[in-house]
Amino acid sequence: MDRAELAAFLRRRREALRPEDVGLPVGARRRATGLRREEVATLAAMSTDYYTRLEQQRGPQPSEQMLAALARALRLSNDERDYLFHTAGRNAPSPVVAATHVAPGLMRVLDRLSDTPALILSNLGEVLVQNQLAEALYGDRSHFTGLARSEVYRWFTDLAERRVYPPGDRDRQSRAQVANLRAAYGAMGPQSRAGELVRALRRESPEFARLWEEHEVVKRFEDHKVLVHPQLGEIEVDCQVLFTEDQSQALLVLTAPPRSEAFEKIQLLAVLGNEQFAR
């Protein structure tokens, strides 16, 4: 671990960012030229003291998870992310960490979406990051670990996951989940994380095994869908999707026509989210 270089790199990358680059308000009395330490810490979901000690060359060696969080908070490119790992005395990011590093371009768009639900997903249905309205709508989807990080896995192993869709739409969603995983499986190969998911689900879910044998292949995102919120009921939304060039990540934005019932419900989501309602 090169403490001096790690500290300098973190400080320079922090100073190179502006609040508006990461979706934060500028503030009238702001004197710092870049982000404050506490802002980086908040974006990375770590304590300000921990981050400060890293910049002061006296912190412990960060874990892979901490480094991945810092790379996301500082909007690092893949090359910058790898450099961060190396200066911290870690090997190049593992395939899992590298695959879940959010594309900076998608993050920049997400940072500017504060008035409608939006989230970034991997091609395996893993929520990599979501804004406050998406969390109010879906709940926190970023805390899962292992195979459960994939929405596809949870869909077939935890029936509670299906409550977000009306009962009449769940069979179609099951087929779409499998078809989307097959598209990822074809691109990534049988020895990839997609292959691991397929093998686990064929063992654990007869429904998945049956649908897998139908060999349907399609990207899962629909232009229009109905979601069910526990407090607000059904919300009809339109879906816009922006993919990275390699199709490995997607920014999903959910909108509703102005002045519609769904639009009003999305506005209420902001209130419910701020109240930290129980889901």
* Cα Rg, the chain, nearest whole Å: 20
Average the pLDDT over 63-92 and give the result: 88
The answer to whether the 3-99 and 104-274 domains have the same CATH topology is no
Q: Which of 66-80, 86-100, 206-220, 242-256 has the lowest mean pLDDT?
A: 86-100
Q: Tell me if the pTM is above 0.95.
A: no
- Mention the CATH class of domain 104-274: alpha beta
**Residues 197-249 pLDDT 10s:** 999 999 999 999 999 998 877 665 667 889 999 889 999 999 998 888 877 88
Rounded CA-CA distance 194/171 in Å is 22
**Residues 118-169 pLDDT 10s:** 999 998 999 998 998 999 888 888 778 889 999 999 999 998 999 999 999 9
Contacts of 11 (CB under 8 A, 6+ apart): 55
Judge whether residue 54 has pLDDT over 70. yes
The SS3 of residue 144 is: coil
Contacts of 66 (CB under 8 A, 6+ apart): 44, 46
In this prediction, residue 197 carries a pLDDT of: 94
In this prediction, residue 277 carries a pLDDT of: 42
The mean pLDDT of the chain is 86
Residue 75, by phi and psi: left (phi above 0), alpha (psi -120 to 50) or beta?
left
Per CATH, the architecture of 3-99 is what? Orthogonal Bundle (1.10)
Instruction: Provide, rounded to the nearest whole percent, the portion of the chain with pLDDT above 90.
Output: 33
Q: What's the sign of the alpha-carbon dihedral 120, 74, 113, 235?
A: positive
Q: Where are the domains of the chain?
A: 3-99, 104-274
